[in-house]
Structure 1
Amino acid sequence: MLPDQNKPCILIYLAPHPGGEEKLREVQAGMEEEGIPYTVVQSNETNAAALSYEGASKSKLGVGVGIGSEDLCIHYVKLPAQKPLFSLQEAGSPAQWRHFGYNAARLVKGIPFKDRPSKNENYETNRDDLYQIVYRIVQKVLQESAQGHGEVKAWSKTL
């Protein structure tokens, strides 16, 4: 599948492999959350650095992402072929793959990159953290109400 040469987008080059679709889905989600378009290209090349460089070279935005079986790279067209901007030299985690999508999009937008998450970080933890914060706030409000703080008293006009 050849990319549309006129469409400004990040080119994601994907080497077919088990688990590749899951990696691709997370990378795409990161780009979508940042609002940057992308096009996916299947390739027989397996090296993520080579894939990402090819994507950056052919992208009108100058940014390419390579998804290999054991690695993941973001490349910028002005960098040497063997020096990708970001490289993950392991299978990684869904949180890491999504951050690659964020950072590829942020490279296009010219805004600061997000910090890379740890391998064990996941998005459920972030949701659980938010739940705990809300739970503590509700508990505090209920406790203060029981102690009479913030109590709403009915106002009546006496004649």
Structure 2
Amino acid sequence: MNFTQDAPAIVISLTSPTPEAVWHQVLLGIEEEGIPWQWQQDDDPDAILRAWQAATRSPLLVGLACSADEVIVHFRHLPPASPLFRQRRGLNEDQLRRLGNNAARLVKGLPFK
């Protein structure tokens, strides 16, 4: 459900070496909730800052940062150093998908899974 740059979407910031196994499940979770997303390539090592910057660029106020080590969900109205969710390496597919679900549910105003 990747849309053009102009469509309202959750912005996802990826670093170059992020494994597909990480971001693929996150995208499936977002898509299950019917919310569009768009990519943003950024190799800044500060994943929390990248997630917050993605949220500030998103018309839906939600941004994610994915790297080989962690997945972060951020909301524009939170302080930059205080992400909503931060999960470090070792997540299974269900946990990664749930992060995507919860990012989309934040947009929709629904309770988290």
| Deviation by residue 1:41-80 (Cα, 9 ceiling, x = unmatched) | 1111233212211110100000001102211110000000
CA contact (8 A) 2:18 2:66 kept: no
Instruction: Structure 1 unaligned segments of length 5 or more: list them.
Output: 115-159
Query: Hey, what's the Cα distance between the residues in 2 that align with 1:75 and 1:58?
Result: 12
Look up the equivalent residue of 2:76 and give its one-letter code. Answer: V
Unaligned 5+ runs, structure 2: none
Q: AA paired with 2:7?
A: K
How far apart in 1 are the matches of 2:72 and 2:50?
8
**Of Structure 1 and Structure 2, which has the larger fraction of its residues in helix?**
1
Aligned to 1:28, what secondary structure does the other structure show?
helix
Identity %: 36
- After TM superposition, where is structure 1 displaced by more than 3 Å over at least 4 residues in a row? none
Query: Match of 1:41?
Result: 40
Q: Residue 32 of structure 1 aligns with which residue?
A: 31
2:62 maps to amino acid? V
Q: Which has the higher strand share?
A: 2
Instruction: Report how far residue 12 of structure 1 moved.
Output: 0.5
Q: Deviations over 1:61-115 (max 9, x none)?
A: 000011022111100000000000011123422211111100000000000000x
Higher relative contact order (CA 8 A, sep 6+): 2
CA distance in 1, matches of 2:49, 2:18: 19
* Distance of 2:37 and 2:53 partners within structure 1: 14
Instruction: State the TM-score, normalizing by the size of structure 1.
Output: 0.65
Within a 5 Å distance, the mapping from 1:12-31 to structure 2 comes to: 12-17=12-17, 19=19, 21-31=20-30
Q: In the aligned structure 2, how far is the partner of 1:59 from the partner of 1:11?
A: 6
Partner SS state of residue 46, structure 1 = coil
Structure 2 residue identity aligned to 1:44:
D
* 1:111-150 Cα shifts (integer Å, max 9, x gaps): 0000xxxxxxxxxxxxxxxxxxxxxxxxxxxxxxxxxxxx
Larger gyration radius, structure 1 or structure 2? 1
1: CA distance between counterparts of 2:76 and 2:99?
17
Correspondence 1:73-152 to 2 at 5 A: 73-114=72-113
Q: Equivalences for 1:3-18 in 2 at 5 Å? A: 4=5, 6-17=6-17
Task: Tell me the TM-score normalised to structure 2 length.
Answer: 0.90
Q: Give the length in aligned residue pairs.
A: 110
Structure 1 residues 17 and 60 mapped into 2: Cα distance closer, same or farther (>3 Å)? Answer: same
